[in-house]
Amino acid sequence: MTAQEPQGFSRDDANVRRLCALSGVSRAGFYRHFEPKLSAREDAELRDLLQKLALKDRHQGYRRITAGLRREGLIINAKRVLRLMREDNLLSLRATDQSRAVGGSPVADRSITSSNSADSA
């Protein structure tokens, strides 16, 4: 749609809608067919770069890796980075809270000193 064309549904949209209804194809599927697809080579190069970045620091998540790729000049969606990292099992390792693991639960160490029942009053 250009600036000179009126906004809203045009006659061509109605024809596409009618043809899709007759053929049993959704309009989104019809338009998706015409989208350019990424080549497997580009996808493999991106996966290689993601693996290098993810294995360099295992505690960086997909958001930080996406930000790093954007700083390098790549135009990439965070959802795509997340999907590729999931497929390659590269999701970040979560740092554990060492204070909980060493000290234990602070509630478990307390002892009961008085009864909370209404009978003891």
Domain ranges of the chain: 11-87
What integer pLDDT is reported at residue 29 of this predicted model?
Answer: 87
Question: One-letter amino acid identity for 45?
Answer: E
- The tens-digit pLDDT sequence of the chain (121 residues) is 455 655 555 566 678 888 888 889 898 888 888 777 777 788 888 899 999 988 888 888 899 999 999 999 999 999 999 999 998 888 876 666 665 555 555 555 566 666 666 665 5
Q: Tokens 């043809």 — which residue?
A: 19
The tokens describing 59, both together, are 């505690």
Model's pTM, two decimal places?
Answer: 0.49
- Say whether 90 sits in a helix, a strand or coil: coil
Instruction: Give the pLDDT score at 58.
Output: 82
pLDDT at res. 99: 52
Chain centre distance of CA 114: 51
**CA angle 57–58–59, rounded 5-degree value:** 90
